Amino acid sequence: MTEPTAVIEPISPAAVAELRALLDGPHAEVRRYTREVLCGLDLPAADGLDRDAYRDQVLEWLKGVAKTGAGSRSFPSRYGGESDAGGSIAGFQTLGHGDLSLLVKVGVQFGLFGGAVHRLGTEKHHARYLADIASVELPGAFAMSESSHGSDVRSIRTIARYDAEDREFVIHTPAEENRKDWIGNAARHGKVAVVFAQLDVAGEARGVHAFVVPLRDDDGNLLDGVEIEDCGDKMGLQGVDNGRIRFSAVRIPRENLLDRYGTVDDDGSYRSSIDSPGARFFTMIGALVQGRISIAGAGIAVARNALTIAVRWGERRRQFGTGLDMDTPLMDYLTHQRRLLPAIAESFALQAAHDHLTAEYARVVGEEETGTEEQRAVESLAAGLKAVSTWHMLRAVQDARECCGGKGYLAENRFASLRNDSDVFVTFEGDNTVLLQLVAKTLLSEYASQFEDLDAVGMARTLSTRQISRWLSETGPLGRFTRDDVELRDGAWQAQTLRFREERLVDSLARRLRRLTSSEGMDPLRALSHCQDHALAAATAHIERIVHEQFAARVAEHEGEAREALDRLRDLYALSVVERGRAWWLEHGYLEPDAAKELQKEVNTLCRELRPSALGLVEAFGIPDALLRAPIGMTSPAAEQHSGAGTD
């Protein structure tokens, strides 16, 4: 057992600057500019406004953000944009350091509403709407979810019947349970909505399509046939005007169909470039994957806010009378380090994976061809990273709040709003559990196609990896991964360990499903539901493997003063992931008990090694005091006193 006694120096300012540049990544300029804009909004210290005033304030902020071009960044250049999906996602993430109602309002207006017009509409819609969307001249809603169908868009029942005579669509809510629910921008500010409905042309069902439907006139009065009610008080995000919408035979002109993937011709006939209604549906939904990528990024940002506050307070706050020095900062306690430092390492690692996902998304989103394997891979990673990042966020915020004790319970220190505003991230834009099942389904279909499509060589290669895995598990402990042999700080060992778990879990899930469906005659989806915990474990293992892979690659190519800290962060990420799931590796004969124990000690050792750099690591998150707004989390104690938080 190693008990480090050598003093480890804190990370240097130059290394902190390197880490910050690494985190800011390829869109550093967008991030810098977004921070500046946010600081200029003069966000209030705590939420004191009443609901309507807060919402109107958020609309004003939204217009301020729009003036900076943030709203049109991903739009084509002829509508003031830069066709820069990556920059748009990076800017959105940076908004996660500010007011989260503003973040969500930006997401609704530019991402969901604007994104739908952009991605699902055609030239005529772009010309008519995009500039006004980008300037917030036209505040709009994205009306997809229905009360009865949160996570299952294909089953929505709002109807869009084509009236060939008048060349109009008739939008109608057939039943109370099919009202559009949780629609941002609906309750107060939206003038129009993109409404998702089942298209009916001449009595034939054509599947889900999107339509631009006016909601309010210029004076803000609801139009005939449109009924909207407020969703009411929420846990957080009070600055977002979520509402419920009912349509009673609302008529809209034919050109209001967003018809990139399916259109109704002059002669009233339906035409689509995608033959299969299933493929068409997934193409339309797939085009909206940016929302999930954006929320994943925002989740990472929110975790950073909380960790920054907790580390600064843990460094400042002294615990007296414990028998140690009278002057021991909380951060010197092992439990404190264990709650905060692995979460910091995870925030770094997730950022690398998020940058990778963003780049991949930006690369494939503009492609004419749809439904490609690469696009599906991006969709699956977006779903999985959204789930993993937002659950990381919830854990980090809660641990950070507990680390701040009573101070963390005061509203002024912002944990209340950070947590309450972000809590919905784990269930909206796809419930995390449902998203991980989606990842599992993709893994299973990749698994199946691997064996169907591979040529002989590829097959052999794949099998040999799998055979090793199986051999390991069937022969029990090999003695290779005992205390003396594990290479805990070897990136290759870490990668192999995470990959072993992923492959074994997918493999055993596939075999189990095969048995249930063939031998026991179970319906495939019922079988998947029966193995739901197994599927979620496989999906999580897949995402954690990718996160490590991406972060390790980033670390490997880094040359500079920060390299030592980065190595430790990568090690701490990998080892804490393996530590929390170590039972699985023990059960599958991959780790021997003494290696598993060694691993836990190594996490402690890494925590102690990174502890002197804790302040530097959160400094690298780059969150200005004006955005953090927590008296206990300010850069200097002077700022804290100035803010009136007292001197304790």
User: Under rule CB under 8 A, which residues in 562-621 are in contact with a second copy?
Assistant: 582-583, 586-589, 593-594, 596-597, 604
Applying CB under 8 A, among 42, 165, 218, 321 the residue interacting with a second copy is 321
| 405 vs 458, beta carbon nearer a second copy | 405
| 20 vs 318, beta carbon nearer a second copy | 318
Q: Tell me the closest approach of the beta carbon of residue 475 to a second copy, in angstroms.
A: 12
8 A C-beta contact, residue 457 and residue 450: no
8 A C-beta contact, residue 70 and residue 34: yes
- Nearest by Cα to 182 from 420, 438, 433, 424: 424
Q: Tell me the closest approach of the beta carbon of residue 86 to a second copy, in angstroms.
A: 30
Choices 86-94, 102-110, 215-223, 413-421 (CB under 8 A): range interacting with a second copy:
413-421
Q: Tell me the closest approach of the beta carbon of residue 148 to a second copy, in angstroms.
A: 5
Q: Contact between 643 and a second copy (CB under 8 A)?
A: no
Q: Contact between 155 and a second copy (CB under 8 A)?
A: yes
Choices 88-96, 163-171, 393-401, 494-502 (CB under 8 A): range interacting with a second copy:
393-401
Q: How many residues bind a second copy (CB under 8 A)?
A: 85
Amino acid (1-letter code) at residue 359: A
Applying CB under 8 A, among 56, 315, 431, 625 the residue interacting with a second copy is 431
Q: Tell me the closest approach of the beta carbon of residue 175 to a second copy, in angstroms.
A: 9
- Location of structure tokens 């989390």: 633
Token pair belonging to 534: 């197994």
Rg (CA), the chain: 26
Q: Tell me the closest approach of the beta carbon of residue 589 to a second copy, in angstroms.
A: 7
Q: Tell me the closest approach of the beta carbon of residue 529 to a second copy, in angstroms.
A: 6
Query: What residues between 7 and 66 interact with a second copy by CB under 8 A?
Result: 46
8 A C-beta contact, residue 117 and residue 254: no
8 A C-beta contact, residue 96 and residue 272: no
* Beta-carbon contacts of residue 94 (< 8 Å; ≥ 6 apart): 30, 31, 34, 35, 38, 301
Applying CB under 8 A, among 7, 267, 453, 647 the residue interacting with a second copy is 647
Q: Is 636 exposed, middle or buried (0-12, 13-18, 19+ CB in 10 A)?
A: exposed
Query: What is the DSSP annotation of 176-229?
Result: GGGSEEEETTTTTT-SEEEEEEEEEETTEEEEEEEEEEE-B-TTSPBPTTEEEE
Beta bridge partners of 199: 160, 207
Q: Tell me the closest approach of the beta carbon of residue 1 to a second copy, in angstroms.
A: 9
Choices 88-96, 135-143, 321-329, 440-448 (CB under 8 A): range interacting with a second copy:
321-329
| 18 vs 592, beta carbon nearer a second copy | 592
Q: Is 77 exposed, middle or buried (0-12, 13-18, 19+ CB in 10 A)?
A: exposed
Applying CB under 8 A, among 119, 401, 554, 570 the residue interacting with a second copy is 401
140 sits in which H/E element: strand 140-143
Applying CB under 8 A, among 322, 449, 467, 636 the residue interacting with a second copy is 322
- Location of structure tokens 């596939």: 510
Q: Cα 310 to the chain's mean position, in Å?
A: 22
| 77 vs 529, beta carbon nearer a second copy | 529
Q: Contact between 521 and a second copy (CB under 8 A)?
A: no
Helix axes of 334-365 and 532-556: crossing angle, nearest 10 degrees: 90
Q: Tell me the closest approach of the beta carbon of residue 234 to a second copy, in angstroms.
A: 6
CB atoms within 10 A of CB 489: 17
| 401 vs 554, beta carbon nearer a second copy | 401
Query: What residues between 333 and 352 interact with a second copy by CB under 8 A?
Result: 333-335, 338
8 A C-beta contact, residue 69 and residue 135: no
- Nearest by Cα to 399 from 388, 408, 386: 408
| 462 vs 600, beta carbon nearer a second copy | 600
8 A C-beta contact, residue 46 and residue 412: yes
Q: Tell me the closest approach of the beta carbon of residue 256 to a second copy, in angstroms.
A: 27
Query: What residues between 228 and 247 interact with a second copy by CB under 8 A?
Result: 231-236, 244
| 154 vs 480, beta carbon nearer a second copy | 154
Cα end-to-end distance, the chain, whole Å: 38
| 125 vs 244, beta carbon nearer a second copy | 244
- x/- binding map, residues 259-298, to a second copy, per CB under 8 A? ----------------------------------------
| 122 vs 147, beta carbon nearer a second copy | 147
| 57 vs 72, beta carbon nearer a second copy | 57
Helix axes of 532-556 and 432-453: crossing angle, nearest 10 degrees: 80
Query: What residues between 173 and 202 interact with a second copy by CB under 8 A?
Result: 176-177, 179, 181-182
CA 408 – CA 422 distance, rounded (Å): 16
Query: What residues between 201 and 230 interact with a second copy by CB under 8 A?
Result: none
Applying CB under 8 A, among 14, 164, 205, 324 the residue interacting with a second copy is 324
